[in-house]
């Protein structure tokens, strides 16, 4: 049998690498879930903002001499400001319309952003040097894990935990939930609903940009890097439940591990295992694992 021939070391190594991939899925899907859960917008431009974050980090290092650590802090702020402008000038007119309008607008926006960077930098990939502090590897006994990949796990866990805490355990999070669940009542209570909506979208795309800078040293930076991963990330969000933060994080990590196992047990299915899982889950739970069924009236 296939399983009897598995190497424990190889399987353990793939699980660790799968966990790293899952951390990327979790961080990216978290931003999508925040935007959909709070604004009810399917943000198809999320992959483009992920790519934008990686490119800004690369441009900052290559042309401005701004290092990795500064870029990791400044890039999400800059991309968040871009997202704020997008929300104020484009998306705010679509909230009372069908979700398809928001999806089509953000899809078109993603094509525009990708086209701009393809014209400016070409289709070939750019490389980003691993920061000196995170170079090298550590011995786990069954494999040598690059220190940078361990950092990805720690950084993703921190950002996901902080996002959950802000939304679920702070006054600002309570205001956000109130503004999205019943904006009219929130307005009468003195809550600035338009500002909170704008900040929510900005925060969602800032998370994508953070993931982009985090990914820059381990992937080829190119204009299509966001398009190549966004479909998988959407599948993660759907499986976890649209708008569920816990669902996005848990599903992202779990599917990363599942991919790792598939690469050892049956490599041919590894690229599609996420979509097979989505099919199975939706047949049983149409709203996703952590999602809730819409109320019928």
Q: Is the pLDDT of residue 1 over 50?
A: no
Residue with the larger pLDDT of the pair 1 and 7: 7
Plot region of 40 (φ>0 → left; ψ -120 to 50 → alpha; else → beta): left
Is the confidence at residue 86, as pLDDT, over 80? yes
Looking at the predicted structure, is the pLDDT value of residue 6 above 60?
no
Backbone angles phi, psi at 12, to 5 degrees: -60, -40
CB atoms within 10 A of CB 78: 16
User: How far from chain centre, in Å, is Cα 75?
Assistant: 15
188 or 68, which is more confident? 68
Which contacts (CB < 8 Å, 24+ apart) does range 78-82 have? 78/209, 79/49, 79/52, 79/53, 79/205, 79/206, 79/208, 79/209, 80/202, 80/203, 80/205, 80/206, 80/209, 81/202, 82/49, 82/52, 82/205
- Whether the CB-CB separation of 74 and 206 falls below 8 Å is answered with no
Residue 32 · residue 46 · CB < 8 Å = yes
pLDDT, position 281:
93
Report residue 229 as tokens.
């991963």
pLDDT band at 158 (very low <50, low <70, confident <90, very high): very high
The structural architecture, per CATH, of the domain 7-284 is Orthogonal Bundle (1.10)
Q: For 35-54, what is the mean pLDDT?
A: 90
What pLDDT score was predicted for residue 5? 45
pLDDT tens digits along 256-291: 999 988 888 888 888 889 999 999 999 999 989 987
Give, as one character, the DSSP assignment of residue 127. -
Judged against a pLDDT cut of 50, whether residue 157 lies above it is answered with yes
Query: Is 103 exposed, middle or buried, given 0-12, 13-18 or 19+ CB atoms closer than 10 A?
Result: middle
The pLDDT score that the predictor gives to residue 125 is: 85
Q: What is the pTM of this model?
A: 0.92
The residues spanned by each domain of the chain are 7-284
């Amino acid at each position: 049998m296939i399983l009897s021939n598995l190497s424990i070391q190889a399987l353990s190594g793939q699980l660790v690498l799968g966990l790293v991939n899952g951390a990327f899925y979790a961080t990216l899907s978290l931003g999508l879930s925040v935007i959909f859960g709070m604004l009810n917008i399917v943000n198809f431009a999320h992959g483009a903002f992920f790519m934008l974050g990686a490119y800004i980090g690369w441009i900052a290092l290559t042309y401005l001499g701004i290092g990795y650590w500064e870029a990791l802090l400044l890039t999400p702020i800059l991309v968040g400001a871009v997202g704020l402008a997008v929300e104020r000038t484009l998306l705010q007119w679509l909230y009372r319309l069908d979700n398809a309008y928001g999806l089509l607008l953000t899809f078109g926006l993603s094509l525009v952003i990708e086209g701009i960077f393809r014209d400016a930098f070409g289709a070939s990939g750019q490389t980003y040097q691993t920061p000196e502090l995170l170079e090298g590897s550590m011995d786990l006994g069954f494999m040598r894990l690059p220190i940078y990949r361990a950092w990805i796990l720690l950084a993703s866990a921190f950002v996901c935990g902080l996002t959950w805490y802000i939304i679920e355990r702070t006054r600002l999070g309570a205001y956000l939930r109130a503004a999205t669940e019943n904006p009219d009542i929130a307005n009468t209570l003195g809550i600035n609903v338009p500002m909170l909506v704008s900040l929510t979208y900005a925060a969602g795309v800032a998370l994508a940009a953070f993931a982009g800078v985090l990914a820059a040293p381990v992937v080829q930076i190119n204009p299509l890097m966001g398009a190549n991963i966004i479909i998988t990330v959407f599948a993660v969000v759907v499986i976890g439940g649209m708008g569920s933060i816990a669902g996005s994080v848990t599903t992202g990590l779990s599917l990363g591990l599942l991919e790792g196992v598939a690469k050892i047990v049956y490599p041919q299915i590894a690229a599609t295992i996420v979509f097979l899982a989505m099919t199975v889950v939706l047949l049983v739970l149409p709203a996703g694992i952590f999602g809730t069924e819409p109320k019928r009236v």
